[in-house]
């Protein structure tokens, strides 16, 4: 029947609370096609969250659930939950154009059975808005037991900054929340699924995640790497071997991976998981690349790396060591269908120094390799040892040298101390270990001193230039600033260049000898060859190399399956807003990061033993507990594992749509005044001062504490004060209006409390009791008859006294007079209504008029209830001002009659 | 009793705790699990919730149920909910039996949990016995007439008529006064937005007169009514003699209110200078210049609130109006502003119990105070007195805000802020048989769930006939009634309950006992196979069952409540419950 004006729906109703449902049902019964849009995951509005309703004391569920079920099943009503209207404009023919979108629930709403297992498995607690934040709910959740639709929704507030920043694609928020939940094995496996070299990362990663951690804006970041280290150690201790083998669906496709560094191994892992036959070629005798050869054992123990590598080989990946690949062509000849090259960046740069034959001059890679995997350690005992360079590799060399009985170890670099490319902690720890720093100097020459000793002479740097990546591009020296440094051994750690030489003729290279690849897919000039890691990036950190390996594997897999490559790799979820998180974490207690126990510098330099200790279980969980849960859902994947219907889908996207409707009813409800603004009343400061809506939850059948208990100590209150008109009839919060419902719902609270706690005294402090509706005054009289003490008097302030009790200061107007005080166990602040300002933003075709209090105005409230200044756009329920349920229902029905009249006119026009 | 083949599902509701706090619902479910025919016996936190309904539908389908018993709240609340669910699950809705375990069990026996549980078991057993004998029934579908009779041509009735007309329905408006417009037609400046009452009415009437599909009858009343939802037949008498027969699908009763008339002596009523607010409003309408009463200038005016409202029972007031009249605080404070707008040095004293200027009306109260009106709170049990002295009227009041100190106010004028009372209209009430609530106003089915519907299907109520309301609220409820009438009539048909009497023509010997017993005129004599028997007109029968016990031949049964079912229920619930 909606065809004449090309309407998708006759009426769109925005907001599916009491008013919206009622209006929709009325219109649906009249035969109009209704689109009912609700931004929450469930319909029912605020009424469904109530305990019982005055004056009949029907339970709120009894009042709401039939309307909710009817709205969901009505043949003329289409329900769109978790959806928002972006804008409404009016068409020339009087109909409306609507833009709206359905938010991703990340749970397939068709197949979800509402079993709630995802919520049980979910490791992320969030404030439960449906219980007015008195308890926590899970990120994966069903709003409340009577929800319609009863389907799970996963709350996501963007990508956690830690996860967003991790180049390797690891989900720190996920494993941290799993560790917090004591699920270490799950945490390990979550990490493994993204990056297999878990142990290596737990020791050697420079942890960019910690730098981005929101908690770093407060007392210090979460010790993500240390938590990971606990998790890995816990897991490897119990699982010396991987507990899996090759995947079942093996494919015929063969992939060669050149280089067994972090990039190559990661690519091999992900390719093998897809079933491809993967062979890794490694020129050296041991797999691991820079992890093995570039990192001293105090940071990266060989045994740990060996165990990490088993994670890859368990999938059937073959690693051929001592096998140098000389050309891509040779691999093609061997029948490989695709190649990943991660040959790294291991060619040391040597700078010419006058007199370099006068000392034992070597390069950093040679030195480190000998140190890490050589049959014997380099013989530098008693020597004066100098490293040239200010990067992390220079420090690895220096700190390794310190551990080999050297007489002295010095670092000589061009950059000033605060401009050194090495990480700050490396510099600090090296100095602790006795490494001398000569910063801002340039090597001039090596000469033999008077005693025949080799000496490095340096000059101060007068000026230095850096490129945009912080790398030195040029410098000048100041003559006459010579210093002499004893130097038996000089190791050059002044940069590495890509090991891409063998492929120079087969693959297109960049000017700096890195391999040229497509930014998105990492595909090289040879379509079957993909590249990643330092060979593409230049010097990078290990997690970056791993990230490239993972990304290349994704596109190689698609390449081999002949699927298009122009698909995005990363999730498009935006990074969570740190400022907002910090702002709403104001109430978090200040907990400093757990200090990592490490050996004294003197003890450290005795050996190559790792000097950091692994956290204890308690420390790890306590540290994990500091996570602020920035992205809400932590991506721990427990819901995915738990869901029996397989309906979790993190790739779900916002679904935008446009439609034409004949009329619009805005029934977006009201906001509840936050009593924290009334500072003297103590809400938010004293735990036993709660709000009226919270009291309703304490009394509801689905109540959070299964009883009326006061929050501070769980005691059953014996004396409860209910204070009316907080933020209503109240110029201190700029709200002179009466909330219309406070008197009545307080009488209800009093009666229900007396039922739940027969021994409790209830006092209601009031200005006027406004029991004006049908049966209301009788209900008020019933409260008085039950023994509720009604005290006329304005409460001025509330203070906490011993034991969490509260002292109420009030003006006693009817009794003895004057300022009096009374003690209570618990205080309920009956709070006012505020307009929902969102409702004013819906219509973009002009301005929807409001009254002076920002409620939508009815220009002729008497004869035309529900009509706004925009013809065809109607308002229903509390959007035009506070009202109770019966008045809301009547008003919504009235609006529906108005909308019906409008549509009939539209059809005739 | 052949129950062996039945497959009955029993679902016991916790009702959040309303039931389960007093009735051991798990035990009830367990106790009835072995009843004949029962194949499913379960508990649900809220059987009415969508998820529980879905689970029950799954049970209906998986267990191939052919009978359903839900023990929950009153059927007034959820019988239709569960009937709908039964149909969605694929069972005939009349094979569903509603057991009232809340109003009739848990709430009634909050002091005896064991007893309540045993009674619960007995009630559910009876429900099962009934379900076991249930048969599928088909609703009677009748066409509806797309016309509405609106009774009362006040603002509610007129506005309803226009809205119905907007929706394409034909409307007849009947007004028993000579002039349409109701109470508001004579009123001047009104709260909250200072429109003139007569302007509002005039605009509505002008608009009504332009509509071809609205017929307005004044000086007319309904004298006969028959038929049923969707197809009523009514007769109007116009001007005392002429009659008109109409056929309508629905009726909206908007008969308004009467202002409370104080008794002689009540707050000095009857004394010169003591008037009600409506009287004063009429007298002051159109006046300008300083306030005068009977030609004398008024310096002190006293308003006394809650006159005729929130009354306590006493010897002087044996039938009190216990209710709050809702509009009067708003009207009184608005009048305060009207008086402040007039020139002169007037002192206003407003004696109140609670000022109930709810919602946005609070701004009027606040403005009245700011502009100088004095508000004094008197105690519920210590009302002000009005006396005539040599110097004139004196009002004495104990001001609660001054610690109960007695204040004497010499008054030139005392205005009694009176409430609304239900309108007397016996002819109409006898015809429509509409129930009234304790306060005497017309009663809705449920103030939140079905606020404008009545137990007489197809008859809706609107405006202050239902309870005291402001103009805007009256119009709102009138439009609400319109939306429900529209919902009924725009479909073109209505399904009637098939729970009606049926005559066993073999047994019937036509003695007319049933015809005499039926209050709905639903029995006719007819002939069947050459013999005279009773015939039930299904659309008129309400299934009340008055005909059943009077039949000397046992020839009548009511569908859904057959003798066999009732006997089985009695047997089932009188069986002893073995204590746990």
Tens of pLDDT, residue by residue over A160-180, are 999 999 999 999 999 999 999
Please check whether residue B366 touches A, CB under 8 A: yes
Total Cβ atoms within 10 A of residue B63:
13
> Pick from A29, A63, A771: which is nearest to B449 by CB?
A63
Which residues on chain B are in Cβ contact (under 8 Å) with A777? 309-310, 322-324
Q: Residues 446-465, chain B: which have Cβ within 8 Å of A?
A: 446-449, 451-452
Q: Do A863 and B473 touch (CB under 8 A)?
A: no
Q: Quick one: fold of B147-256+423-494? A: FAD/NAD(P)-binding domain (3.50.50)
Total Cβ atoms within 10 A of residue A722:
27
> Pick from A114, A893, A898: which is nearest to B51 by CB?
A114
Q: Do B400 and A61 touch (CB under 8 A)?
A: no
> How near does any CA of chain B get to the CA of A297, in Å?
59
> How near does any CA of chain B get to the CA of A286, in Å?
60
Please check whether residue B58 touches A, CB under 8 A: no
What is the C-alpha to C-alpha distance for residues A891 and A769, in angstroms, rounded to an integer?
24
Q: Do B475 and A813 touch (CB under 8 A)?
A: no
Give kind and range of the element (H or E) at residue A457: strand A454-466
B501-559 CATH: 3.30.70.20
What is the C-alpha to C-alpha distance for residues A95 and A87, in angstroms, rounded to an integer?
14
Q: Do A701 and B379 touch (CB under 8 A)?
A: no
Which residues on chain A are in Cβ contact (under 8 Å) with B321? none
Q: Do B81 and A851 touch (CB under 8 A)?
A: no
What is the C-alpha to C-alpha distance for residues B279 and B102, in angstroms, rounded to an integer?
48
Please check whether residue B288 touches A, CB under 8 A: no
Question: What pLDDT does residue A146 have?
Answer: 87
> How near does any CA of chain B get to the CA of A789, in Å?
15
Reported as a pLDDT band with limits 50, 70 and 90, residue A105 is very high
The domain made up of B8-137+565-574 is a member of CATH 3.30.230: no
Q: Do A73 and B168 touch (CB under 8 A)?
A: no
What is the C-alpha to C-alpha distance for residues B252 and B474, in angstroms, rounded to an integer?
13
> How near does any CA of chain A get to the CA of B363, in Å?
7
What is the C-alpha to C-alpha distance for residues A883 and A742, in angstroms, rounded to an integer?
10
Which residues on chain B are in Cβ contact (under 8 Å) with A862? 155, 190, 193, 195, 200, 471-472, 475
Please check whether residue B17 touches A, CB under 8 A: yes
Question: What pLDDT does residue A837 have?
Answer: 94
Which residues on chain A are in Cβ contact (under 8 Å) with B377? 792, 813-814
pLDDT, tens only, A584-639: 876 667 888 888 898 899 898 888 989 899 999 999 999 999 999 999 999 999 99
Please give the residue that has the higher pLDDT: either A229 or B519.
Answer: A229
Question: DSSP of A763-780, one letter per residue?
Answer: EEEES-----STTHHHHH
- SS3 at position B248: strand
Which residues on chain A are in Cβ contact (under 8 Å) with B81? 65-66, 69-70
> Pick from A736, A768, A774: which is nearest to B467 by CB?
A774
Tell me the residue length of chain B: 580
Total Cβ atoms within 10 A of residue B141:
10
Six token digits for residue A80: 């769109």
> Pick from A56, A68, A904: which is nearest to B50 by CB?
A68
Question: DSSP of B41-90, one letter per residue?
Answer: EEEES-TTSHHHHHHHHHHHHHTT-SEEEEEES-HHHHHHHHHHHHHHHT
Residue A2 has pLDDT above 60, yes or no: no
Per-residue pLDDT of chain B (580 residues; tens, 9 = 90+): 444 589 999 999 998 788 999 999 999 999 999 999 999 999 998 888 878 888 999 999 999 999 999 999 888 778 888 999 999 999 999 999 999 999 899 989 989 999 999 999 999 999 999 999 999 999 889 899 999 999 999 999 999 999 999 999 999 999 999 999 999 998 989 888 899 999 999 999 999 999 999 999 999 999 999 888 999 999 999 998 899 999 999 999 999 999 999 999 999 999 999 999 999 999 888 888 999 988 899 999 999 999 999 999 988 889 999 999 999 999 999 999 999 999 989 999 999 999 999 999 999 999 999 999 999 999 988 999 999 999 899 999 999 888 888 999 999 999 999 999 999 888 898 899 898 998 999 999 999 999 999 988 899 999 999 999 999 999 999 999 999 999 999 999 998 889 999 999 999 999 999 999 998 888 999 998 889 999 998 888 889 899 999 999 999 999 999 999 999 999 998 887 765 4
Angle between helices B471-489 and A885-908 (to 10 degrees): 60
Q: Do A61 and B49 touch (CB under 8 A)?
A: yes
Whole-number average pLDDT of chain A: 92
**Alpha helix segments (H runs only) across A321-375:** 328-333, 364-373
Q: Do A738 and B46 touch (CB under 8 A)?
A: no
Is residue A804 exposed (0-12), middle (13-18) or buried (19+ Cβ within 10 Å)?
Answer: middle
What is the C-alpha to C-alpha distance for residues A176 and A179, in angstroms, rounded to an integer?
5
Reported as a pLDDT band with limits 50, 70 and 90, residue A3 is low
**Mean pLDDT on A510-524:** 91
> How near does any CA of chain A get to the CA of B477, in Å?
5
Which residues on chain B are in Cβ contact (under 8 Å) with A861? 192-193, 472
What is the C-alpha to C-alpha distance for residues A629 and A606, in angstroms, rounded to an integer?
41
Q: Can you give the three-state secondary structure of A85-122, one letter per residue?
A: EEEEEECCCCCEEEEEEECCCCECCCCCCCCCHHHHHC
* Residue of chain B with shortest Cα separation from A861: B472
> Pick from A778, A792, A901: which is nearest to B323 by CB?
A778
> How near does any CA of chain B get to the CA of A156, in Å?
25
Q: Do B472 and A769 touch (CB under 8 A)?
A: no
| Bond preceding residue B296 cis, omega within 30 of 0 | no
**Mean pLDDT on A422-426:** 89
Please check whether residue B3 touches A, CB under 8 A: no
What is the C-alpha to C-alpha distance for residues B253 and A25, in angstroms, rounded to an integer?
22
Six token digits for residue A461: 């740097």
Six token digits for residue A551: 């990304």
Q: Do A774 and B439 touch (CB under 8 A)?
A: yes
- Point out which residues pair with A442 in neighbouring strands: A459
What is Dmax (Cα atoms) for chain B? 91
Total Cβ atoms within 10 A of residue A51:
24
Reported as a pLDDT band with limits 50, 70 and 90, residue A340 is very high
The domain made up of B261-419 is a member of CATH 3.50.50.60: yes
Q: Do A61 and B200 touch (CB under 8 A)?
A: no
Six token digits for residue A841: 């933003």
Can you point out the beta strands (E) in B106-238?
Answer: 140-143, 147-151, 170-174, 214-217, 220-228, 231-238
What is the C-alpha to C-alpha distance for residues B224 and B553, in angstroms, rounded to an integer?
34
* Residue of chain B with shortest Cα separation from A23: B483
How many A×B Cβ pairs under 8 Å? 245
Sign, Cα dihedral of A117, A123, A124, A127: positive
- SS3 at position B286: coil
What is the C-alpha to C-alpha distance for residues B163 and B174, in angstroms, rounded to an integer?
16
Which residues on chain B are in Cβ contact (under 8 Å) with A774? 323, 437, 439, 441, 447, 466-467
> Pick from B15, B50, B483: which is nearest to A150 by CB?
B50
What is the C-alpha to C-alpha distance for residues A907 and A704, in angstroms, rounded to an integer?
50
What is the C-alpha to C-alpha distance for residues B236 and B173, in angstroms, rounded to an integer?
11
How are beta strands A338-341 and A529-531 bridged, if at all? parallel
Residue A327 CB partners (closer than 8 Å, separation 6+): A502, A503, A506
Which residues on chain A are in Cβ contact (under 8 Å) with B361? 738
CB of B403 within 8 A of CB of B377?
no
> Pick from A68, A862, A881: which is nearest to B200 by CB?
A862
Total Cβ atoms within 10 A of residue A24:
32
pLDDT, tens only, A279-313: 999 999 999 998 999 889 998 999 999 999 999 99
Closest CA to B555 of B513, B504, B500: B504
Please give the residue that has the higher pLDDT: either A761 or B5.
Answer: A761
What is the C-alpha to C-alpha distance for residues A563 and B569, in angstroms, rounded to an integer?
69
Total Cβ atoms within 10 A of residue B235:
15
- SS3 at position B525: strand
What is the C-alpha to C-alpha distance for residues B89 and B86, in angstroms, rounded to an integer?
5
Q: Do A893 and B195 touch (CB under 8 A)?
A: no
> Pick from A70, A147, A738: which is nearest to B362 by CB?
A738
Q: What is the DSSP letter of B317?
A: -
Q: Do A738 and B441 touch (CB under 8 A)?
A: no
> Pick from B359, B404, B484: which is nearest to A882 by CB?
B359
pLDDT, tens only, A854-900: 999 999 999 999 999 999 999 999 999 999 999 999 999 999 999 99
What is the C-alpha to C-alpha distance for residues A841 and A854, in angstroms, rounded to an integer?
12
Radius of gyration of chain A (CA): 35
Q: Do A701 and B17 touch (CB under 8 A)?
A: yes
Question: DSSP of A378-439, one letter per residue?
Answer: ---TT-EEEEE--SHHHHHHHHHHHTTT-SEEEEEESS-GGG-SS-HHHHHHHHHTT-EEEE
Question: DSSP of B368-431, one letter per residue?
Answer: HHHTT-EEEE-BTTB--EEEEETTEEEEEEEEGGGTTEEEEEEESEEEEEE-EEEPP-HHHHHH
What is the C-alpha to C-alpha distance for residues A435 and A386, in angstroms, rounded to an integer?
10
Q: How far apart are the first and last CA of chain A?
A: 15
Question: What pLDDT does residue A499 have?
Answer: 80
Angle formed at CA B432 by CA B427 and CA B438, multiple of 5 degrees: 90
Closest CA to A382 of A345, A348, A409, A414: A409
* Residue of chain A with shortest Cα separation from B400: A814
- What is the ipTM, given to two decimal places? 0.88
Please check whether residue B53 touches A, CB under 8 A: yes
Six token digits for residue A707: 């009883």
What is the C-alpha to C-alpha distance for residues A881 and B359, in angstroms, rounded to an integer?
7
Domain boundaries, chain B: 8-137+565-574, 147-256+423-494, 261-419, 501-559
> Pick from B204, B356, B400: which is nearest to A770 by CB?
B356
> How near does any CA of chain A get to the CA of B3, in Å?
32
Question: What pLDDT does residue A418 have?
Answer: 87
Please name the residue that has the structure tokens 């389960």: B20
Please check whether residue B202 touches A, CB under 8 A: no
What is the C-alpha to C-alpha distance for residues A842 and A836, in angstroms, rounded to an integer?
11
What is the C-alpha to C-alpha distance for residues B27 and B39, in angstroms, rounded to an integer?
16
Residue B89 CB partners (closer than 8 Å, separation 6+): B56, B57, B60, B61, B65
Query: Hey, do B8-137+565-574 and B261-419 end up sharing a CATH topology, with the first three levels equal?
Result: no
What is the C-alpha to C-alpha distance for residues A683 and A691, in angstroms, rounded to an integer?
8
Question: What pLDDT does residue A4 have?
Answer: 62
Can you point out the beta strands (E) in B74-169?
Answer: 96-100, 140-143, 147-151
Side-chain half-sphere exposure of A763, counting CA atoms within 13 A: 21
What is the C-alpha to C-alpha distance for residues A277 and A471, in angstroms, rounded to an integer?
40
**Mean pLDDT on A657-671:** 97
Six token digits for residue A358: 């006068």
Please name the residue that has the structure tokens 């401009």: A419
Question: What pLDDT does residue B579 have?
Answer: 55
């Amino acid at each position: 029947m909606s065809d004449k004006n090309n309407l998708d729906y006759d009426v769109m109703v925005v907001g599916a609370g009491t008013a919206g449902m009622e209006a929709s049902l009325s219109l649906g019964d009249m035969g109009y096609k209704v689109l009912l849009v609700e931004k929450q995951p469930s319909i029912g509005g605020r009424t469904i969250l109530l305990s019982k309703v005055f004056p009949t004391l029907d339970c709120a569920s009894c009042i709401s659930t039939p309307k909710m079920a009817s709205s969901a099943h009505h043949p003329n009503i289409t329900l769109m939950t978790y959806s928002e209207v972006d804008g409404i404009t009016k068409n020339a023919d009087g109909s409306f154009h609507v833009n709206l979108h359905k938010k991703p629930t990340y749970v397939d709403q068709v197949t979800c059975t509402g079993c709630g297992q995802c919520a049980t498995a979910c490791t992320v607690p969030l404030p439960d808005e449906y219980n007015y934040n008195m308890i926590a709910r899970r990120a994966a959740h069903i709003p409340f037991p009577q929800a319609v639709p009863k389907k799970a929704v996963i709350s996501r507030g963007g990508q956690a900054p830690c996860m967003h920043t991790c180049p390797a694609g690891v989900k720190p928020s996920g494993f941290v929340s799993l560790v917090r939940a004591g699920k270490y094995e799950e945490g390990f496996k979550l990490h493994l699924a993204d990056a297999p070299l878990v142990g290596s990362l737990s020791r050697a990663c420079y942890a960019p995640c910690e730098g981005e951690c929101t908690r770093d804006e407060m007392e210090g970041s979460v010790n993500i790497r240390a938590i990971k280290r606990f998790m890995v150690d816990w897991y490897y201790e119990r699982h010396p071997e991987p507990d899996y083998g090759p995947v079942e669906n093996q494919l015929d496709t063969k992939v060669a991976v050149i280089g067994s560094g972090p990039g190559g191994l990661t690519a091999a892992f992900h390719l093998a998981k897809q079933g491809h036959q993967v062979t890794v070629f490694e020129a050296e005798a041991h797999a691991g690349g820079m992890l093995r050869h570039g990192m001293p054992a105090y940071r990266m123990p060989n045994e740990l790396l060996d165990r990490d590598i088993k994670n890859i080989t368990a999938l059937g990946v073959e690693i051929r060591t001592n096998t140098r690949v000389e050309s891509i062509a040779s691999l093609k000849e061997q029948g490989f269908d695709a190649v990943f090259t991660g040959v790294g960046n291991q060619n040391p740069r040597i700078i010419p120094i006058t007199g370099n034959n006068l000392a034992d001059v070597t390069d950093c890679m040679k030195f480190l390799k000998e140190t890490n995997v050589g049959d014997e350690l380099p013989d530098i005992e008693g020597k004066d040892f100098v490293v040239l360079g200010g990067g992390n590799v220079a420090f690895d060399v220096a700190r390794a040298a310190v551990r080999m009985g050297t007489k002295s170890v010095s670092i000589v670099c061009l950059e000033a101390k605060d401009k050194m490319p090495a990480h700050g902690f490396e510099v600090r720890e090296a100095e602790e270990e006795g490494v001398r720093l000569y910063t801002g100097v340039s090597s001039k020459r090596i000469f033999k001193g008077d005693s025949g000793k080799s000496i490095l002479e340096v000059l101060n740097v007068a000026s230095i230039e850096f490129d945009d990546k912080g790398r030195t591009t040029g410098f000048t020296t100041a003559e006459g600033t010579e210093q002499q440094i004893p130097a038996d051994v000089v190791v050059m750690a002044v940069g590495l260049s890509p090991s891409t030489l063998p492929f120079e003729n087969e693959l297109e290279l960049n000017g700096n000898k890195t391999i040229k690849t497509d930014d998105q897919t990492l595909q090289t000039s040879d379509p079957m060859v993909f590249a990643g890691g330092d060979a593409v990036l230049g010097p990078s950190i290990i997690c970056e190399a791993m990230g490239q390996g993972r990304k290349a594997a994704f596109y190689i897999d698609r390449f081999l399956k002949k699927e298009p490559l122009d698909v995005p790799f990363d999730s498009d979820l935006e990074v969570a807003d740190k400022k907002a998180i910090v702002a709403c974490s104001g109430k978090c207690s200040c907990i400093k990061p757990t200090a990592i126990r490490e050996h004294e510098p003197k003890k450290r330099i005795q050996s190559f033993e790792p000097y950091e200790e692994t956290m204890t279980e308690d420390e790890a969980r306590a540290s994990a507990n500091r996570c602020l849960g920035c992205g809400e859902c932590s991506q721990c994947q427990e819901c995915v594992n738990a869901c029996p219907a397989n309906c979790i889908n993190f790739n779900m996207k916002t679904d935008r749509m446009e439609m034409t409707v004949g009329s619009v009813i805005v029934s977006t409800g009201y906001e509840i005044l936050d009593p924290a603004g009334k500072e003297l009343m103590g809400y938010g400061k004293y735990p036993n001062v709660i709000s009226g809506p919270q009291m309703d939850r304490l009394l509801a059948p689905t109540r959070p504490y299964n009883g009326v208990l006061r929050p501070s100590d769980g005691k059953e209150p014996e004396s409860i004060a209910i204070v009316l008109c907080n933020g209503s009839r109240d110029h201190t919060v700029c709200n002179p209006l009466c909330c219309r419902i406070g008197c009545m719902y307080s009488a209800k609270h009093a009666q229900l409390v007396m039922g739940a706690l027969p021994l409790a005294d209830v006092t209601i402090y009031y200005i006027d009791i406004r029991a004006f509706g049908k049966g209301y005054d009788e209900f008020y009289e019933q409260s008085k008859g039950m023994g509720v003490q009604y005290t006329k008097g304005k409460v001025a302030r509330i203070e906490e006294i011993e034991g969490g009790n509260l002292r109420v200061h009030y003006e006693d107007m009817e009794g003895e007079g004057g300022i009096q005080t009374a003690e209570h166990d618990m205080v309920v602040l009956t709070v006012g209504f505020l307009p929902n300002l969102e409702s004013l933003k819906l219509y973009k075709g002009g301005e929807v008029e409001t009254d002076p209090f920002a409620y939508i105005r009815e220009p002729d409230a008497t004869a035309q209830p529900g009509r706004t200044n925009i013809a065809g756009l109607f308002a229903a329920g509390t959007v035009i001002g506070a009202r109770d349920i019966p008045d809301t229902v009547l008003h919504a029905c009235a609006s529906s009659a108005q909308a019906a009249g409008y549509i009939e006119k539209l059809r005739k026009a | 009793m052949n129950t062996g083949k039945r497959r009955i599902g029993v679902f016991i509701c916790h009702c959040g705790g309303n039931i389960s706090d007093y009735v051991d619902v798990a035990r009830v479910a367990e106790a009835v699990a072995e009843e004949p025919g029962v194949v499913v016996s379960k508990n649900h936190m809220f059987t009415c919730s969508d998820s529980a309904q879905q689970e029950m539908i799954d049970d209906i389908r998986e267990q191939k149920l052919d009978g359903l018993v839900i023990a929950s709240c009153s059927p007034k609340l959820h019988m239709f909910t569960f009937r709908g669910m039964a149909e969605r699950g694929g069972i005939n809705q009349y094979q569903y039996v509603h057991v009232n375990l809340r109003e009739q069990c848990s709430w009634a026996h909050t002091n005896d949990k064991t007893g309540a549980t045993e009674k619960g078991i007995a009630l559910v057993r009876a429900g099962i016995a009934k379900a076991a004998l249930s048969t599928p029934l088909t609703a009677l579908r009748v066409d509806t007439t797309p016309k509405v009779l609106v009774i009362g041509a006040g603002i509610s009735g007129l506005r309803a008529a226009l809205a119905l007309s907007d929706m394409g329905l034909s409307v007849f408006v009947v007004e028993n006064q000579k002039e349409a417009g109701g109470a508001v037609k004579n009123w001047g400046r009104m709260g909250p937005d200072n429109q003139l009452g007569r302007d509002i009415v005039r605009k509505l009437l002008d608009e009504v007169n332009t509509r071809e599909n609205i017929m307005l009858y004044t000086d007319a009343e309904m004298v006969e009514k028959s038929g049923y939802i969707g197809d009523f037949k009514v007769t109007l008498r116009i001007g005392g003699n002429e009659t008109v027969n109409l056929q309508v699908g629905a009726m909206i009763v908007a008969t308004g209110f009467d202002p409370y008339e104080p008794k002689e002596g009540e707050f000095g009523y009857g004394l010169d200078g003591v008037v009600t607010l409506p009287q004063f409003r009429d007298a002051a309408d159109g006046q300008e210049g300083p306030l005068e009463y009977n030609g004398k200038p008024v310096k002190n005016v006293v308003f006394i609130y809650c006159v005729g409202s929130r009354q306590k029972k006493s010897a002087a007031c044996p039938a009190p109006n216990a209710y709050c009249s809702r509009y009067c605080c708003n009207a009184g404070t608005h009048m305060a502003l009207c008086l402040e707008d007039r020139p002169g040095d007037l002192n206003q004293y407003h004696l109140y119990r609670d000022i109930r200027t709810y919602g946005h009306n609070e701004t009027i109260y606040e403005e009245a105070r700011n502009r100088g009106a004095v508000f004094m709170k008197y105690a519920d049990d210590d009302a002000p007195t009005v006396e005539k002295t040599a110097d004139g009227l004196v009002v004495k009041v104990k001001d609660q805000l001054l610690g109960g100190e007695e204040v004497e106010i010499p008054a030139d004028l005392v205005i009694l802020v009176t409430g609304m009372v239900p309108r007397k209209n016996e002819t109409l009430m006898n015809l429509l048989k509409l129930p009234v609530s304790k306060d005497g106003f017309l009663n809705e089915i449920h103030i939140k769930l079905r606020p404008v519907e009545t137990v007489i299907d197809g008859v809706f109520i609107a405006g202050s006939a239902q309870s005291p309301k402001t103009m805007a609220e009256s119009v709102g409820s009138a439009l609400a009634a319109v939306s429900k009438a529209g919902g009924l009539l725009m479909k073109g048909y209505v399904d009637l309950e098939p729970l009606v009497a049926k005559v066993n023509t073999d047994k019937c010997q036509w003695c007319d006992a049933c015809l005499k017993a039926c209050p709905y005129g639903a029995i006719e004599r007819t002939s069947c196979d050459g013999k005279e028997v009773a015939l039930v007109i299904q659309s008129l029968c309400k299934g009340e069952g008055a005909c059943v016990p009077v039949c000397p031949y046992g020839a009548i049964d009511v569908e859904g409540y057959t003798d066999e079912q009732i006997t089985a229920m009695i047997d089932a619930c009188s069986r002893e419950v073995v204590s746990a």
